[in-house]
Chains A and B, each alone.
Chain A
Amino acid sequence: MTTSPEILKPPVITTGPIGWIRTNLFSTRLNALLTVVVIALLYFLLRPSLTWLFFDAEWAAVTSNLKLFAVGQYPSDEMWRVGVVVLIVSLLAGLSWRVWSGVARTFARAGGVIFVAMAFVPLSLDSLDVEARLWILANPFVIGLGYLLARVINVPPGRLIIAWAAAFVLVLFLLRGSGWMPGLPEVRTTQLGGLMLTILLSVVGIVASFPLGVLLALGRRSSLPAVSMFCTLFIELIRGVPLITLLFMTQIILPLVLPQDTFLDFIVRDRVMRAFVAITVFSAAYMAENVRGGLQAVPLGQIDAAKALGLNGFNVTLYIVLPQALRAVIPAIVGQLITLLKDTSLVAIVALLDIVGIGRSIILGNVEWRGSQREVYLFLAAVFWIFTYSMSYASRRLEEALGVGRR
């Protein structure tokens, strides 16, 4: 050991792009070698794909069928109803932006940007006519309107949730219409298709299977043997069956076992409704297992403390157990909901044309597009990715906002 100050080399740059490359890719000789090899490999592997993507791909199969992809066989005369539905959602998104901020703000803004991009997308007017572009372009303004509205009038968060729920019912009603409503002739559910059907199936599936799953999970832990046995049996039976089988079974069996000509006719007679039932029941069984994991993670001391305060069993569950249980399993729940979104494409098996079904029928149904499989499936993958990524993004933000792991 010497006592005189050591002479040091100047520190290596570690900030900026050059610094980043140095520390991450070329920090040691081995790392540098690996970096070069990987870049070379990527070049050889990706060159054909990238050349195809940027120079050879023919997107006409997608661009010429935008309406099919969006709404399937929805009658052209009734397209305004779809437009209004999207506007309703935009208005609520704008309100939520102001009221909830956080992730709602991100989505409202991103939605606005996407709408603008879609309205001015450089495609021929044959692909996307002026009227459609105007409908789309109205959305960013309506989002802004919602935001401003919520600034002027005070909207309590609870009220907003009710508004979303009411809008949900209104949307379903608008899209379907009914024989006795002037100006809103009935659209058969088999005419609902494309992305619209995918979103509808997913949203209804999520909205219905979440509470059902929670109830099943609670029921499974019930102290009443009959309830807990029924729930366990239900969960295990459903989880033992592939979704495809369940879809077939609801299509064929529900009309046989449910009584005819009753209020249940809307399920019995309607192929989409029967698919809803299959998806909801399937997703709920998995949801129940996820929630059960969360319920087990709540310490018994929490329940003791709540009971000792005089809260009854229902309130203990509602205010103490469930909030903590659900918080603990948000990632699992969102994973489950993402699976549900992707699984909706299985309804093609029972002759419903969701966005994947539409893609397939475009390729198979028309010689002109038969060579465009790659483009169509890539497009479908991109659409699904946008939705699933949004969901996992929302889940992460939700976890942050709720302080999961900290509280």
Chain B
Amino acid sequence: MTGEERPAADDIIVCREVHKWFGDFHVLRGLSITVKRGDVVVVFGPSGSGKSTFIRVINRLEEHQRGDVIVDGIELTHDIRNVELVRREVGMVFQSFNIFPHLTVMQNITLAPMRVLRRPRSEAEKQAMELLERVGIPEQAAKYPAELSGGQQQRVAIARALAMQPKIMLFDEPTSALDPEMIKEVLDVMRELAGSGMTMIVVTHEMGFAREVADRMAMFDEGTIIEEGTTAQVFDNPQHERTKLFLSQIL
């Protein structure tokens, strides 16, 4: 890979030879990838290949056991202060939304800015309203999550992550728990976000979205990235047999 030749300031995420085990199970097997600032990287591959584990390593929801993970110049180690710093800079959106059911939409979004960044309530709420406008549901601010559709909940989850003004956004199959008619509204928000210059890692099998939005793509298999390249390369000229096979199955 050419990653090591690039100027380091441009590399916002660097993973080098990352290994992780769940008990005896070797889930990440020497994974390396470099993500440049402002890039959108789509991650795909068969189920169980370690995609979720990989992006959870980036904000240390999972600990890796060997190799280096460096996020915006901060190396992830056991040092809890580094972990909290990184988590402030990295937003995450989950397959199952994980909206806080006991808080209103507004409270879901303002909680972290108020408790972590110590923003005053008025400022946090103003920013939350702007974000709700941005994801297209300002009228839902006072509601509880149970009153929203899945697509709306996922958009709240995106707004909640954006409220911390992250430099990087991680998406773990953000649309795969949604009914078909709601997938588009979430993808639209993500498309706009990508257009605004956000660095994004998106685990998804929405290949239309990938072709349109992604700068680079990474194919996972059995705990490693078996193919990585620009979107055009991966779609039009995949090098690896398994990539070809996988793409032919899902396209």
Contact = CB atoms under 8 A, between A and B. Distances in A.
A323 B104 CA distance: 13
Contacts of B145: 407
A229 interface: no
A308 B102 contact: no
Contacts of B100: 302, 305-306, 320, 324
A310 B112 contact: yes
Given A301-B98, A305-B98, A311 B116 contact: yes
A382 to B, nearest CB: 38
Name B's interface SS: mixed
Contacts of B87: 307-310
Contacts of B102: 323-324, 327, 402, 407
Given A308-B91, A310-B84, A407 B146 contact: yes
A406 interface: yes
Given A319-B115, A327-B102, A407-B144, A310 B61 contact: no
B160 interface: yes
Given A309-B87, A310-B87, A403-B144, A304 B116 contact: no
A99 B94 CA distance: 39
A390 interface: no
Contacts of B34: none
Nearest to A327: B102
Interface string A386-407: 0000000000000000110011
A305 B94 contact: yes
Interface in A314-343: 315, 319-320, 323-324, 327
A301 to B, nearest CB: 4
B169 to A, nearest CB: 11
A302 B112 contact: no
Contacts of B160: 309
Contact of B88 (A305, A310, A406, A407): A310
A312 interface: yes
Contacts, number: 68
Contacts of B164: 309-310
Name A's interface SS: helix
B154 interface: no
Interface string B46-70: 0000000000100101000000000
Interface residues of B, number: 27
B231 to A, nearest CB: 27
Contacts of B94: 301, 304-305
A307 B102 CA distance: 17
A29 B87 CA distance: 70
A154 to B, nearest CB: 17
Contacts of B195: none
Contacts of A319: 111, 115
Nearest to A315: B115
B96 interface: yes
Contacts of A323: 102
B92 interface: yes
A308 B61 contact: yes
A407 B101 contact: yes
Nearest to A320: B100
B161 interface: yes
A307 B98 CA distance: 12
Contacts of B90: 308
A309 B144 contact: no
A310 B88 CA distance: 5
Interface in A120-143: none
22 contacts: A301-B96, A304-B92, A304-B98, A305-B94, A305-B99, A305-B100, A307-B87, A308-B59, A308-B92, A309-B160, A309-B164, A310-B84, A310-B164, A311-B111, A312-B116, A315-B116, A324-B100, A327-B102, A402-B102, A403-B146, A406-B146, A407-B101
Interface of B: 56, 59, 61, 84, 87-88, 90-92, 94, 96, 98-102, 111-112, 115-116, 144-146, 157, 160-161, 164
Given A308-B161, A309-B112, A407-B144, 6 more contacts: A308-B91, A309-B164, A310-B84, A310-B116, A312-B84, A407-B101
